[in-house]
Chains A and B, each alone.
Chain A
């Protein structure tokens, strides 16, 4: 290094130190922002379905404020001693400091030469910034650790809440109606709900649905005690379909076999929504598959699963045979099951008993005239 470049070398040294400090502040901001974001995420997930749940506006405003705090971290007040601290860290024998403090005189060149030597030694491996205090480094590391813990807890809670992996505002695709609160169907079709309630009130107790509609919104503990039809249990045993492999107790869909038999499709759907079991209502347009919530995987809501369960139930009601057609039934199986289910619509009625004499005579004349085309088998379509 030539004499005369000492000033430039010193300036390069302090610029490098300033950049090192800014890098550390950036790392501190990143840790703080990560921790604050993870904490916000965790809070939002924990407050899910409560009235304290922050709105998307608040959530995004907080996230924007967290990200936007970067300039505040970088421009936080500097200390006037930083420059001389950087020089002293690179110059153990105070050669640079002595040169900086010398204002002209006979020792100028000597001090400058010593300063250049000191800078050269200090920057052999490239200029280095002063190390931040250990306490500051520990604090930043703790921020990262705290953020990581919050993030992991938030993801676990989000998965448990049925939101899946949440990096932004946590939302469920299907929001179950809280017990006692009207569902979307209830709000959209109040006459249907009222008619159902009246019908339930008029139903004999042996049908099991005489209780008011609102009381059918049993809590999870009550529903857990309800008897479940075999075909639902069989469906739950199927891999990837039922609630059994979720490992969590899922409320049953139908209150009981008899209640389902007497209530029909809409009734069982209403119980399903009110029961908060996440299986959805087929009439709602978007049904959740059994065990959808809390599974932690991207399961698209498929109405077919719900329809299949309903079909199996109706099949059992119509035929008295409790069975399951499997998760992926063949076309032949489905066709045969549908034909059997709807065979009652094709029932033939035998008309017998006393016949009017005039009608009998008229029929005989008809047979005589068009006997070749007629089929007097005694059966008529209804």
Chain B
């Protein structure tokens, strides 16, 4: 009994650690996949290569989000546990930032906290909203509708990610870090608020 209570108390921390580890694994998988894809995208225009790399990242992130949603459903956890995908995204972003810092060791790398990190975390929040089960009358909605929602989320996240990568690489301008930071932080704030309301307060919304 005592052991069960200890496990129950430490379960949230263990889930956070597992999510962070999943993010690290996802980062490694992304590097492997992008490396494998490099011979193909090398011959493509640069914008296409950037979009392809973003597509690889988003596809793998979506895969992790779907696995997480499946686990939450099977383990009968709170639906909001799909928010752990954002924890994984932060872990991935931390490793990506570190690798970027190793390649370009300047303090400009801190701009990535406003420019790149919200893209990762925002995409993870969007996938969490799309893949999880919410409380209320729409629980257990039709698989087709859910698949359409997931596909739309993937398309939005891929387009958003590609657009910012392409602008940063091909059409940079002096105010880009500030503009990108503001836009991405606004988008991330909205997505996080939507995530919290969907899984924490949706029962009240659905009642009326």
Contact surface of A with B, Cβ cutoff 8 Å: 6-7, 10-11, 14-15, 17-19, 21-22, 56-57, 60-61, 64-65, 67-69, 71-72, 74-80, 82-84, 86-87, 100-101
Rounded to whole angstroms, the CA-CA distance of A69 and B196 in the bound complex is 17
Q: B201 to A57, Cβ gap below 8 A?
A: no
Q: B135 to A80, Cβ gap below 8 A?
A: yes
Segment of B40-48, B101-109, B141-149, B166-174 engaged in the interface with chain A: B101-109
Query: Is the CB of B30 closer than 8 A to any CB of chain A?
Result: no
Given A75-B124, A75-B128, A86-B204, 10 extra CB contacts under 8 A: A17-B201, A18-B201, A21-B196, A61-B102, A69-B94, A72-B87, A75-B121, A75-B125, A76-B86, A78-B200
Q: B192 to A64, Cβ gap below 8 A?
A: no
User: Would you give 17 A-B contacts (Cβ < 8 Å), ordered by A?
Assistant: A11-B205, A14-B204, A64-B94, A67-B113, A72-B86, A72-B90, A75-B87, A75-B195, A77-B78, A77-B80, A78-B196, A80-B79, A80-B199, A80-B202, A86-B201, A100-B204, A100-B207
Q: B113 to A100, Cβ gap below 8 A?
A: no
Cβ distance B125 to chain A, nearest Cβ, rounded Å = 6
Residue of A whose beta carbon sits closest to that of B132: A77
Q: B105 to A56, Cβ gap below 8 A?
A: yes
B-side binding surface: helix, strand, loop or mixed? Answer: helix
Count, A-B residue pairs, CB within 8 A: 134
Query: Which chain A residues lie closer than 8 Å to B118 at the CB level?
Result: 71
Query: Which chain A residues lie closer than 8 Å to B105 at the CB level?
Result: 56-57
Query: Which chain B residues lie closer than 8 Å to A14 at the CB level?
Result: 197, 201, 204-205
Q: A77 to B125, Cβ gap below 8 A?
A: no
Cβ distance A128 to chain B, nearest Cβ, rounded Å = 16
Q: B208 to A80, Cβ gap below 8 A?
A: no
Q: Which of B53-95 contact A (CB under 8 A)?
A: 78-84, 86-87, 89-90, 93-94
Query: Which chain A residues lie closer than 8 Å to B124 at the CB level?
Result: 75
Hey, what's the 0/1 contact readout for B173-208 against A, CB within 8 Å counting as 1?
000000000000000100011011101111111011
Query: Is the CB of B161 closer than 8 A to any CB of chain A?
Result: no
Q: A78 to B199, Cβ gap below 8 A?
A: yes
Q: B192 to A80, Cβ gap below 8 A?
A: no
Query: Which chain B residues lie closer than 8 Å to A65 at the CB level?
Result: 94, 97-98
Rounded to whole angstroms, the CA-CA distance of A88 and B39 in the bound complex is 60
Rounded to whole angstroms, the CA-CA distance of A100 and B203 in the bound complex is 10
Cβ distance B186 to chain A, nearest Cβ, rounded Å = 13
Cβ distance A9 to chain B, nearest Cβ, rounded Å = 10
Q: A71 to B197, Cβ gap below 8 A?
A: no
Q: B90 to A69, Cβ gap below 8 A?
A: yes
With A64-B97, A84-B203 already in contact, the answer to whether A57 and B102 are too (CB < 8 A) is yes
With A18-B197, A61-B98, A64-B112 already in contact, the answer to whether A74 and B203 are too (CB < 8 A) is no
Report, nearest first, the 3 A-B pairs whose CB atoms are least far apart. Answer: A78-B200, A71-B121, A75-B86
Query: Is the CB of B117 closer than 8 A to any CB of chain A?
Result: yes
Query: Is the CB of B28 closer than 8 A to any CB of chain A?
Result: no
Query: Which chain B residues lie closer than 8 Å to A61 at the CB level?
Result: 94, 97-98, 101-102
Q: A64 to B98, Cβ gap below 8 A?
A: yes
Q: B204 to A10, Cβ gap below 8 A?
A: yes
Cβ distance B16 to chain A, nearest Cβ, rounded Å = 8
Q: A78 to B98, Cβ gap below 8 A?
A: no
Q: B125 to A80, Cβ gap below 8 A?
A: no
Query: Which chain A residues lie closer than 8 Å to B122 at the CB level?
Result: 71
Of B135, B192, B199, B208, the residue contacting A71 (CB under 8 A) is: B192
Query: Which chain B residues lie closer than 8 Å to A71 at the CB level?
Result: 86, 89-90, 117-118, 121-122, 125, 188, 192
